[in-house]
Amino acid sequence: MCRHLGWLGRPRSLAELMLDPPQGLLVQSYAPRRQQHGLLNADGWGAGFFDGQVPRRWRSAAPLWGDGSFASVAPALSSHCVVAAVRSATVGMPIEASATAPFTDGGWLLSHNGVVNRDVLKGAEGAESVCDSAVLAAALFARGVESLGEVIAEIGAADPAARLNILAANGSRMLATTWGDTLSMLHGADGVVLASEPYDDDPRWVDIPDRHLVEAHDGEVRVTALGAAR
Ligand code: GLN
């Protein structure tokens, strides 16, 4: 399934985060190391970043490796808070920019790595696309991203086959869940990276266990187990 990446810390360029690392999203788009579902992430890419309090997005339905315009501009786009992804579309889902993460409600940027049965999702009327991830994003925005852990446990109980790795940020907080797929964290002095897989061989990368919630805020990170839905 897709691969995503989030950053919260000192301003860094989109090139530094997505394109330059030896195993960054660019390389993960054609040679991911830890992907369990799908071989390539060629069905689009998205880069979302906060410009002050305003989330801005650049998304495409084409492979990241072919986008020379993005490669040219990405070194000049810097932000303290970034959510980016490369996509491997689930069978039957449309291949279009509006189906590609990150999704937004104007306050959060959100990415989904996984698959979910849309029939179990409620309150998703404003979805940008019929893609399951877009419908899930709309449902999470409607419920409130602050209660991400609780809502993911509920959806996971309603659809036991779902894989629900979420990555979301609002400019000052970054949240992520693991539910069926990989996630790693690099917590340095200048910020926190959360990524579906490490983008380099830095020994400080830590793997987050399955069914956990990660919350990063003000340089602090908390990792807690996700309970079964009450
Ligand atoms: N199901 C989503 C889609 O089709 C996400 C797929 C993924 O994680 N690869 O876009």
pLDDT of residue 228: 59
Collapsing DSSP states into helix, strand and coil, what is residue 30?
coil
pLDDT of residue 38: 78
pLDDT of residue 1: 55
CB of 166 closer than 6 angstroms to any ligand 1 atom? no
Instruction: Return the axis-axis angle of helices 132-143 and 148-158, rounded to nearest 10°.
Output: 130
Tokens read off for 144: 């409130």
Report CA Rg, the chain: 16
Say whether 131 is catalytic. Answer: no
CB of 132 closer than 6 angstroms to any ligand 1 atom? yes
**Which residue type does 93 have?**
M
Closest ligand 1 atom to the C-alpha of 43? 10
Q: Whose CA is nearest to atom 9 of ligand 1?
A: 1
Q: Whose CA is nearest to atom 10 of ligand 1?
A: 89
CB of 87 closer than 6 angstroms to any ligand 1 atom? yes
Q: Whose CA is nearest to atom 3 of ligand 1?
A: 89
Q: Are 100 and 74 in contact (CB under 8 A)?
A: no
pLDDT of residue 54: 98
Quote the ligand 1 centre to 87 CA distance (angstroms).
6
Tokens read off for 57: 């997005």
Q: How many CB atoms lie within 10 A of CB 139?
A: 21
Q: Which helix (H) or strand (E) holds 83?
A: strand 78-86
Round to whole Å and give the CA distance between 5 and 21: 12
CA angle 207, 209, 210 (to 5 degrees): 130
CB of 47 closer than 6 angstroms to any ligand 1 atom? no
Quote the ligand 1 centre to 188 CA distance (angstroms).
29
Domain boundaries, the chain: 3-225
Round to whole Å and give the CA distance between 31 and 190: 28
Round to whole Å and give the CA distance between 160 and 32: 26
Q: Does domain 3-225 have CATH number 3.40.1010.10?
A: no
- The catalytically annotated residue of 1, 2, 15, 145 is 2
pLDDT of residue 227: 81
CB of 90 closer than 6 angstroms to any ligand 1 atom? yes
How does strand 45-51 pair with strand 184-188?
unpaired
Q: Provide the residue-wise pLDDT of the chain in tens; the chain has 230 residues.
A: 599 999 999 999 999 999 999 999 999 999 989 888 878 999 999 999 999 999 999 999 999 999 999 999 999 999 999 999 999 999 999 999 999 999 999 999 999 999 999 999 998 999 999 999 999 999 999 999 999 999 999 999 999 999 999 999 999 999 999 999 999 999 999 999 999 999 999 999 999 999 999 999 999 999 999 985 44
Round to whole Å and give the CA distance between 40 and 50: 28
pLDDT of residue 230: 46
